[in-house]
Amino acid sequence: MSPNISTKGLKNLTIMIDKHKIGIVGLGKLGQSLYDVISDTTDMEVVYYDIISQDQKYKYEPIESIKETCTLIFICVSTPENPLYDGSDLFYLHDLKEFDYDYTAVHDTLIDLDGCRGAIIISSTISPKGIDDIILNTGNLRIIYNPFMFEGGNEYNSILNQKNIIIGSNRDPQILIDFYRNISPDAAIHTLSFTESALLKMIHNSYVSLRISFVNAVQRLTYEVGGEAQNILNALKEFPIFNTPRFLNIGLPSGGPCIPRDSLVLSRITKEGLFDDIVSERMIHIDWLSDNIIDLMTIYGKTTISLFGLSYKKGVKSLKGSSAVLLKKSLENKDIKCYVDRETVNSFNVLLNEDSTLLENKSLYYDIWRDRVIVKE
């Protein structure tokens, strides 16, 4: 259902946009990257407020000043989840209770902005089931929901080169559309209701998990019947039905701070069906990988496993939602002693050095990111 659009009261807001002052509340990775993109690509003045950090690189203003002077205010504060559900712990769906985020920082920010005349853009992650409650309690504030889908470790370029922009609103969001015409003139803008916009982001991320789960299943299938899974996947990349080569490489299940978690949110809403299967498939593949590694240890007479690279993907340091961490926990739950060289992927070069003191004869070496086992004889 399309949102109910109202243009009442937009005249003053349209006049204010000429002042070109943008406020950002929350200077985490999203807030910093958004600040940098706006500063680098427009002549708009940008300021920020953060309750914890003050960075000399950016122009700080108190929240009261941002409230009074900014045309657009982006809320980029954290909405953390229970650490059990961030995607880096072993669990099964029957063990899970209701899932939701902690919206304390969003609520507190909206209270601080009470009476604001500008448009307030919430870019913090919000569950489709929680967004209406947040919006209904904001009184006369002009709220727009604008979730970002950026690639971890490449936040700046993800925002700068957006192909799709999600806008959720029950009023005319033209002020934000005009803003994005300056930042991302070629991007497609999808204007939806609040609930639809929150769903769209999470469904997008769950589809990424679905593709990766499909590849995980192909890997297990070819292992059983013979052949190289990656040879098949490389060929599939050329078929029109697989219109992108992304996520068609063997390896670990989906990972990161958003994708596994968003699938979990949707599974807790539907309670059964495909989204449950996506979450379960992640655990199934981790269990299969750990069993395979144990089999290799037996074949080669090894008693320990050394893992190289625990971050959730190449080139980043974060372990949040990491399937590599899940694999380590799965092995340890099966009484396998695991050693970790470093948490980042770049340590693989150490493996190739035959003189390295890290190479012990008792260990089987598994490079997570290349799905490659190295045995030191």
Q: Please say whether the beta carbons of 80 and 61 come within 8 A.
A: no
Question: How confident is the model at residue 334, as a pLDDT?
Answer: 92
Domain 10-81+97-192 shares a fold with domain 202-375: yes
| Backbone dihedral angles phi then psi of residue 357, each to the nearest 5 degrees | -70, -10
Q: Which residue has the tokens 């900014």?
A: 70
What are the C-alpha distances in Å from 121 to residues 164, 167, 279?
A: 17, 9, 31
Please, what CATH class does the domain formed by 10-81+97-192 belong to? alpha beta
Q: Averaged over 305-319, what is the pLDDT?
A: 75
Question: How confident is the model at residue 337, as a pLDDT?
Answer: 85
What are the extents of the domains in the chain?
10-81+97-192, 202-375
Residue 87 per-residue DSSP state: S
Write down the mean pLDDT value for the chain.
78
Report the predicted TM-score, pTM, of the whole model to 2 decimal places: 0.68
**Domain 202-375 listed as CATH 3.40.50.720:** yes
Answer whether residue 298 shows pLDDT above 80. yes
> Considering only 135-144, 208-217, 365-374, which range has the smallest mean pLDDT?
365-374
pLDDT in tens, 33-46: 999 999 999 989 99
Comparison of pLDDT for 267 and 87, the residue scoring more: 267
pLDDT in tens, 57-70: 899 999 999 999 99
Strands 372-375 and 363-367: antiparallel
pLDDT in tens, 332-370: 999 988 877 654 444 333 333 333 444 455 677 776 666
Question: How confident is the model at residue 247, as a pLDDT?
Answer: 59
pLDDT band at 321 (very low <50, low <70, confident <90, very high): confident
Question: How confident is the model at residue 17, as a pLDDT?
Answer: 42
Q: Which two tokens stand for residue 89?
A: 């712990």
Q: Which residue has the tokens 């098949």?
A: 232
In angstroms and rounded to an integer, the radius of gyration of the C-alpha atoms of the chain is 23
